[in-house]
Structure 1
Amino acid sequence: MKKNLENFLAWVLKKTCLHCRIVILFFLVLTAFSLWILSTRFKVINDTNALIRKDSPIHKYYLEYRKEFGVAEDYVVVIHGADPDENKKAALQVGEKLRKLYPLVQNVRDKLDLSKLEPHLLLYLPVEDLKKIESEIDGYVKTLKQEPEIKLDLNTILNQANAKFQESYLRKHENWKEFIPFIDKFVAILNQLADQLEQNPTSHVRMQKTSLKLQDKEMSNFRIEDIRAILEDHEFLSFEDGKLVLVTASPGKGASEGQKRTETIKKIREIVSDIGMEYPSLSIGLTGEPVLEDDQLQESSKDSLNSALLAFSLVSILFFISYREILRPAIGLVVLAMSLCWALAFPMITIGHLNIISEAFVAMVIGMGIDFGIQFMSRYEEEISGGKTILEALKTTSRHTGAAIFTGGCTTAIAFFTMCFNDFIGLQEFGIVAGFGILFCLLSSLTLLPALYFWIDSKIGLDRIRQSTIKTTWTAPKWVNTVLFFSPRGMLVLATAASLFFIFMIPKVGFDYNLLNLQNQNLDCVQWELELLNSPSRGMISALSVADNEEEAKKKAKAFEALPSVAEVRTLTTILPEHQEEKLQIVRQIVDKLKDVPLDSSKKEVNAERLKNDIDDLLQKSEEGYKTAQKFVAIAPQAKEAVDIFSKLIPALSRIQKQMKKLPKAELNKRLSRAQFEIFGTMESGLLWLRSQDTSRGVILEDLPKEVLERFLSPHGKILIEIVPKENVWERKADVQFVHDIRKVDPKVTGTPVQNYEYIELLRKSYTEAAQWAFVAIVILIVLRFQNLLHSLLALFPLVLAAIWTLGWMGYFGIPFNPANIITLPLAIGAGVAYGIYTVDRFSEDGNAQLFSTSTGKAILISGLTAVIGFASLLISSYQGLYSLGLVMTIAISFCLTTSLIILPQIFYLLNTKKNKTKGLTIPLPAEETLANK
């Protein structure tokens, strides 16, 4: 088989050289066609759903949800500021401008219209609270019936207070049970009146929902402002007492991916920037899953392009410096560039796109694809400088080094193709794209490259070519081999010790499941997402469940709410009040009782002179009472209570008296009227509002805001349930617990937490399996190639050793695998095994352990460095996924190079020594040779 391969490659080489012009023309036409394909069809996608098999149950559930509700994950505009009112104003402006972007966005949710809910708002109170309101209203109504002259105003309350301060009233001990609570409410009113007269800012602080006693009867202090405040708090999606406000919008139909999504995000960012300039005190930003995905795609695409350009530039420089010549390295680079054009055009024809994973193959192919050209060129120059003709040199190169290149290229390609045997479409696509990319590079190195060399070198002439190759062909100086083989056994002992150390470090290698950690942490969308994750909003990430009807939605919602890992459940049934029939009965009784009560929320005049006299009388009585009570504190407990009461009354009354004397009459009347309305008018407005409640029916779906219905109710009547996690489900532990819990209620639950749970684990499993298959396939190919057990094991030895060192290195330095760099498992196997193959192939050919005395050592070193450059170029990436991939692969290839060029030759040297000793010969070490020469 080995001989047949060598003969076949020699035959191909001969035909290629004889028809070199046709071969070159064919590949030029193929390159031109590829460039046309790239200019018209090039496309990169970053849609998670496109990376999963269509028949996957998890994917199926998600697609069913999207089809039913016609929406995708939301854009989220975050508004953060200290002033809740300013936050809401900014949110309204954001919403208004977002609506103008239709049809790029839809379902904008800034302020909800809750006007239809106001007539039914009492139904949202617990039954116990409604009964309490009914009881208080009942007491107030009875009081008014008994004493119809009672009014809610300052003069009345002060008149009642004066009546209670009569000595005859206070002497009765039983009256103190109702007098003390009255005083607490009365002091609160006096302080509020004093604040209004002083125009103290604290006067705008709402009173607590307490109750007042008028004529010894209790009445609810129900304020319409409190009702409005409740509605306002729910009109906006706000958190942290209004300091954090969110505006959300869904991508429009056909605008959830691709160029339209990018265009939409750009326009939303312009809106955010403009409004941010109008509100400099606010922090306004954009995040959400569509933004995170698009920014990830833009970052990775930009980084991939920059890395590819950097890799190509550095490889070119290394190529020219290493060979101290321009023409032949330039030909190799042109062939590589043409191969890349074919490799990029191929997926556009077969698959239709690249994805977020497969686009990284360009930098990889540059680093690994040039490997074949380096090996071929180095051996070709060696043969030319050794005295062979151009065709003979090409034949020898193709027969020997070509066979090694063919084996190495096939093993690398197979390593990629093994990725196709899994359920992860994104990985399958990467395997196809990268595998064929390597094959295209291999094909061009064995056909186009020798055709160009033959055609161009034949024109230049053999003598000039030989002089050039003698000058450019170099081997390492003798001292390199002296150092390299100074102590073969010592070197192997050192390698064994390092391996044992790294083996103990391997268990420390973890897996980072958090997709946010793959992002550029400096991106605004990532920073805002992290801020939301640490807020009560939990980053707006939730799981999704679909119910067929209202009854099922109620049942599921209650079950989800009972789970320990769930923070909140949002659906139509959680918005509709519970026990509506029972509550309606109580509300009807409240409304009926208030029907005949005379209420007037209009502003009433205050008799300032009378009020002033009442204040003076109360202050005088309080001061006298305080002095009298102090005399009996030691002997009468009631005297101590009196001292406490008067201690509260005197400061408040003194403030009012002082301010009334200071203010002009007109201003005094104005402030008294305002104070009276603040204290009593709003109360009557609240009672009027209670009386206006609709008792004809409960809350129905049509009463809910349009945006809520669009979000939670499908055109076919199905109801969406959003389940908000309690912990940060970007972290694996929290995600696993959350998904396990919610699946107990609904096995078909979907959404980002569920998809992340399934897809990342599938990705990890798929790459691990691909690595296993790659290793098996490579072992088979190597055995078939060498047909010698020892040589096959030696070819695998550097790879196994490098794998141990790489994993141990990661464990020691705390470098985890993640959904991006896990690709290195099969990739490092495919790329790293080639160096072992080249090394063993040259040793099996001439039995020379000193690789650097031949062109092979130089070729392996340079090709290894180009691979390192290809992957190290990814280290400039701000996208952490590419960065981590480049880091791990750089380490892995460096170790493969080290084990192939330094460790493996030690074994060759010992094998040669043993072989020659068996024959009765001795082979001096390089150090001994040097001394002998001296």
Structure 2
Amino acid sequence: MNSIRTRVFSAIARFSFFRRRRLILAALILGALSGLLITRLDFQSDVLNLLPEKAPRTQAFVTFLKEFGSGDSLFIVLERKSGGEVESLIPFAEVLVDRLMATGEFTEIIGRMEPGMKEEMARHFLRRALLYLPEEDLEAVESRLSDRGIEEQIRLLRTRISSLITSPLAPYDPLDLLPRFQKNLPLPPSLADSDSQAYPISADRKMMLLIAKPKGSAPDVDYDEKLVKKIQDAEISARRSFAQKRGDDSFRLMSDLRVGLTGGFIHALEDSRMIKRELVWTFSLSLAGVLVLFLAAFRSGVSLLYAFFPLLLSPLLTLGLFSPFLGRLSESTGAFSAIILGLSIDFIILLYSRYLEEKNSGTDVSGALAKSLATVGPAVFTGAITTTAAYYALFLSDFRGVRDLGLLTGTGILISLACALFLFPALVAWREGKNPKAAGRKTSSASWGLERLSSFSLKVPVLLIVLCGGFTLVLIFGAFRVDLDNDPRRLRPANHPSLSLEMRVQEKMEEGLETLVLLAETRKPEEALEIQEAWAQRLKEGISSGLPISRFENLSSFIPTLSRQKRNLEWMENRGKEAFDPHRVERTLRESLRKEGLRVEAFEPGLRAVREMLSHRDLLTWGEVETSPLKKIGDRFLKRTGDAYLSVAYVHLQPGFWAHAQTEDFLGALEASNPAISVTSPKLVQRELEELMTRECWRILLLALAAISLLIYFDFRSWTMTLMSLLPVTMASLWTLGIMGLLGIHLNFMNLVVFTMVLGIGVDYGVHVLHRGLQSPPGQLEQELREVNRGIVLAGLTTLAGFGSLVFSAYPGLQSMGAVALMGVGFSLFFALTLVPILLHKCLGKRQSI
């Protein structure tokens, strides 16, 4: 087996040496073609396309977004820089809202209605008012509409008019029914309460909130960019228009105005911008660190040609290969080239270190290349295959983004391996064939004395094993203290502007900015209304029990269910003909007004409203809704999807809802009430995805471990050697968990992925040590290990530089990934240089001595 591998890798070296020009030319042509193919790739910024299909709450949320638009609101915050009250900004808010709606990007802005729509909507609701009321309010209205009730109310109205404290709505509501209707009817604010404002204002009167509903999806960053640009243009236009119409005072007011944006759309946009900056920053640090290490180790500028031409060609060829199938890159797959940079350079380092070793011993270029590939090639091949297996294990993920990342990175490592085995020898042969003097110059790689760790461990094996065992026992205790924490607030930077504004809005408004979405699929609109009515009752019960819910919006608030309408009509019928007779009520009302000396003509609008309310005894059917002003409202809550209807209700949450003791039972009861119901929200989606990814991480880790173990066994044909290869990464993972527990570093769905990466990377170091040790002549184990350790140390340090840059990220989640990678790779390197040589020496002890 070993002789076959030796012949194969020697043949690759000869092939590359004698056909070096053709290989280099072919690589350049393939690179250019790949570059052309890559230009056709789009960048996919909408993460909805990357979400798993086996996540019910996530898919429910995706369905909601597709059918109803965004569940997120965009919050436009108006304040005065001077800290003054904001009532003076209400006229400007009206102008701004008009400009925002003119952009065509919003379905609605809460509190705004088209001119004339308020009165039309109010008339519609008042005509059907008796169909909305519960029985206790019907009884109160019956009492108010009796002859005695009418006389008492008109007498009270006369007293109020005499004392000048009457409401301006009295001509429209002489019987003072609006306060009772207001509890049950969704009346426009200005008609239900003349003192109310259309837009929310904080209790201290220093903040105004415009709650807008954009048409697009918050995770679509391209849409967010366009939306924010249109909002900024609308603000500039509104400021200019307001200042021109209002005179000098308006200029001072505009200079004192501060407009802020927050909500899911702004969070997604800021996250995207910050992540892109982080990727550039961390990639630049990684590249700089690897370059500095490479130059410091080999002290030769030409070594960069050997390393980075194959290294940069690998991601180019990979993307070119997959471009016809991928079509577009996501943020996850877009980062794979940075991972390739940290992993694939190891192949070049190990091959180049062995080449220099052979060349310094007097071997010519062809022989040195053949010897380096024949001796190091099998270990490089095994290392590449095991790392590829770790990444291909990600292909089992339910997340498309993770699958794409695993497929691209795993294939990229194989392409990097091919470049290292074929292109690296061709470049060396071409460059040193052109410069014979350089070929004869002796060069060695520096590893700063770390290559002697194996020698030290072989001299004091017992001491090292005892120390490692003692530390391991302590760290096992720490490992049990590690907990899982996927709280997004811990994974985001502390200086997130829109999150800071959101927290201030919640504090000022005493209301959360998150919405819970209830979905139900039914065959008929009437069935949807019944479900929505049941939701309303449960939500009212939840609010009365202390659940932090500020309010809810559902279809049954605007359109009463058929069962409620029939119940009310039957109740009124049973009260007798005279109780709700419009002719009797109008006659008595006119007589009472005259009796109290009031002009009947002034109350004609109110008389007409009472007459219309009492005359409408027909059921409000869905067909009638679709031809009435309610259609626009109905479209917000009910959509036809094929042969079924999808209905939605919006529950606006207060801060503390998710931490409340009753929340889980409340959500469970909602879902259990009907199999057609789905409960979802951005928070629930986040929880579901985190739980799914956490479970996946452990499953993928175990599968990767099994695949890597089998591949190593096929290489060595020995379970003993296989276990020795896995020892460094196993100990490294245990020590990493222990230190995380002792330092209070939490596991999260981001750093859990790193353990799979560490498994694929860390196992390589032990494989290289074992390969060189098994090839060593009797009595030369220490010397042979010292030589191979030069390349292993430099490979480990460049990997640490590549991943270690993440610890400088502004994102705590990325920082934790960097910390885990540093510990995992660093400890794997340490154990490969210390424990593996001790165990290898024991295994070889019967055949050779140091």
Shorter chain as denominator, the TM-score bin is: 0.7 to 0.9
- What does 1:503-522 align with in structure 2 at a 5 Å threshold? 503-515=476-488, 517-522=490-495
Is residue 2:410 matched to residue 1:435? yes
Tell me if the contact between 1:475 and 1:853 (Cα under 8 Å) persists in the aligned partners. no
Summarize the alignment of residues 75-154 of structure 1 with structure 2, pairs less than 5 Å apart: 75-79=73-77, 85=87, 89=91, 91-102=93-104, 104-107=105-108, 109-112=110-113, 113-119=117-123, 120-121=125-126, 123=130, 127-129=135-137, 131-132=139-140, 135=143, 138-139=147-148, 141-142=150-151, 151-152=158-159
Answer with 243-252 or 769-778: which moved more: 243-252
C-alpha distance in 2 between matches for 1:602 and 1:99: 48
Partner in structure 2 of residue 759 of structure 1: 689
Asked if residue 465 in structure 1 is aligned to residue 467 in structure 2, the reply is no
Distance 1:443 1:315 in 2: 21
Task: Name 1:724's counterpart in structure 2.
Answer: 651
Letter in 2 for 1:353: R
Match of 2:389 among 414, 425, 435: 414
* Inter-CA distance 818–730: structure 2 relative to 1 (3 Å threshold): farther
Assess if the C-alpha contact under 8 Å between 1:843 and 1:849 holds in 2. Answer: yes
Tell me the percent identity. 22
Deviation at 1:264, TM superposition (A): 2.5
Match of 1:493 among 462, 466, 480: 466
Which residue is equivalent to 2:635?
A: 710
Letter in 2 for 1:696: S
CA deviation profile, 1:100-152 (whole Å, cap 9, x unmatched):
322x554555513432342344556655456446646755754699x99x954
Equivalent AA in structure 2 for residue 330 of structure 1: L
1:369·1:442 contact (CA, 8 Å) conserved in 2? yes
**Residue of 426, 441, 456 corresponding to 2:431:** 456
* 2:326 is the counterpart of 1:351: yes
1:547–1:721 Cα contact (<8 Å) kept: no
Q: Which moved more, 1:392-401 or 1:35-44?
A: 35-44
Deviation at 1:483, TM superposition (A): 5.5
Which is higher, the Rg of structure 1 or of structure 2?
1
Query: Are the equivalent residues in 2 in contact too, given 1:516–1:526 (CA < 8 A)?
Result: no
The CA distance in 1 between the partners of 2:111 and 2:795, in whole Å, is: 58
Name the amino acid aligned to 1:710: D
* Counterpart-to-counterpart distance in 2, 1:750 and 1:153: 49
How far residue 290 of structure 1 moved from its aligned partner, in angstroms, is 4.1
Q: Following the alignment from structure 2 to structure 1, what is the Cα–Cα distance between the partners of residues 118 and 765?
A: 71
Contact 2:64 2:71 in 1 (8 A): no
Which runs of 5 or more structure 2 residues have no equivalent in the other structure? 183-188, 240-250, 573-578
Larger CA deviation: 30-39 vs 571-580: 571-580
Cα 1:271–1:219, aligned 2, differ >3 Å: closer, same or farther?
closer
Match of 2:246 in 1: none
Given that 2:392 and 2:406 are in contact with CA atoms closer than 8 Å, whether structure 1 keeps it comes out as yes
Does structure 1 retain, via aligned residues, the 8 Å contact 2:342–2:799?
A: yes
1:575 counterpart (558, 562, 585): 558
The answer to whether the 8 A contact 1:424-1:766 is kept is no
Q: Which residue of 1 aligns with 2:211?
A: 247
Cα distance in 1 between the residues matched to 2:451 and 2:175: 106
Q: CA deviation at 1:16?
A: 1.4
| Match of residue 13 from structure 1 | 13
CA distance in 2, matches of 1:741, 1:144: 45
The secondary structure found in structure 2 opposite 1:542 is strand
Shift of 1:852: 8.9
Confirm or deny: 8 A CA contact 1:414 1:435 kept in the other structure.
yes
Change beyond 3 A, Cα 1:513–1:575: farther
**1:66-81 aligned within 5 A:** 66=65, 69=67, 71-79=69-77
Aligned residue identity for 1:97 = R
Letter in 1 for 2:213: A
User: Given the alignment of the two structures, is residue 790 of structure 1 paired with residue 720 of structure 2, yes or no?
Assistant: yes
Change (3 A) 1:546 1:280: farther
The equivalent of 2:350 in structure 1 is 375
**Residues 339-738 of structure 1: pairs in structure 2 closer than 5 A:** 339-461=314-436, 464-469=438-443, 476=449, 487-515=460-488, 517-530=490-503, 535-561=510-536, 562=538, 564=542, 567=549, 569-576=552-559, 579=564, 581=568, 588=582, 593-598=588-593, 691=610, 694-697=613-616, 701=625, 707-714=632-639, 718=645, 720-724=647-651
Q: Which amino acid aligns with 1:262?
A: E
* Structure 2 Cα separation of the partners of residues 897 and 60 of structure 1: 43
Does the CA-based 8 Å contact 1:223-1:685 persist in structure 2?
Answer: no
AA aligned to 1:37 is: L
Q: CA deviation at 1:453?
A: 0.5
Letter of the 2:39 partner, please give it: S
Change (3 A) 1:499 1:723: farther
How far apart, in 2, do the equivalents of 1:431 and 1:261 lie?
A: 28
Query: Measured at CA, do residues 274 and 783 of structure 1 come closer, stay the same or move farther in structure 2, by a change above 3 Å?
Result: farther
* Alignment equivalent of 2:789, drawn from 841, 854, 857: 857
- The CA deviation at 1:590 is 5.9
Aligned to 2:220: 257
Note if contact 1:560-1:745 (Cα within 8 Å) is conserved in structure 2.
no
Residues 3 and 518 of structure 1, relative CA distance in 2, 3 Å threshold:
farther
Which segments of 5 or more consecutive residues in structure 1 lack a partner in the other structure? 158-188, 194-205, 210-217, 605-680, 924-934
Q: CA deviation at 1:893?
A: 1.3
Change (3 A) 1:142 1:92: closer
Q: Deviations over 1:580-636 (max 9, x none)?
A: 5459865957655423333799999xxxxxxxxxxxxxxxxxxxxxxxxxxxxxxxx
> How much has 1:43 moved relative to structure 2?
1.7
Q: TM-score, normalised by structure 2?
A: 0.80
Give the CA deviation at 1:285. Answer: 3.1
User: 1:417–1:431: 8 Å Cα contact kept in structure 2?
Assistant: yes
Alignment-mate amino acid for residue 24 of structure 1: I
Secondary structure, in 3 states, of the residue corresponding to 1:400?
helix
Tell whether the 8 Å contact from 1:106 to 1:251 is kept in structure 2 after alignment.
Answer: yes
Q: 1:549·1:718 contact (CA, 8 Å) conserved in 2?
A: yes
How many Å apart are 1:370 and its aligned residue? 0.9
CA offsets per residue over residues 212-234 of structure 1, 9 Å max, x none? xxxxxx99698999984635799
Comparing 14-23 with 739-748, which one deviates more in the overlay?
Answer: 739-748
8 Å CA contact retained: 1:538, 1:724: no
State the one-letter code of the partner of 1:502.
L
> How far off is 1:558 after superposition?
4.1
Q: Structure 1 residues 570, 136: CA separation in 2 closer, same or farther (over 3 Å shift)? A: closer
Calculate the TM-score normalised by the size of structure 1: 0.73
Match of 1:316 among 283, 288, 291: 291
The one-letter code sitting in structure 1 at the alignment partner of 2:40 is T
CA distance 1:152–1:878, shift in 2 (3 Å): same
Instruction: Tell me the secondary structure at the aligned position of residue 598 of structure 1.
Output: helix
Residue 39 of structure 2 aligns to a residue whose secondary structure is helix
Cα deviation 1:651-693 (Å, max 9, x = unaligned): xxxxxxxxxxxxxxxxxxxxxxxxxxxxxx9x98997797576
What one-letter code is carried by the residue in structure 1 that aligns with 2:118?
Answer: L
Distance 2:153 2:798 in 1: 95
Aligned position for 1:900: 832
For residue 374 of structure 1, report the CA deviation from its aligned partner. 0.8
- Would the aligned equivalents of 1:5 and 1:403 in 2 still touch at CA under 8 Å? yes
Deviation of residue 841 (structure 1)? 1.6
Partner of 1:332: 307
- Rounded to whole Å, the distance in 1 between the matches of 2:59 and 2:271 is 25
Query: Are 1:222 and 1:687, in contact at CA under 8 Å, matched by a contact in 2?
Result: no
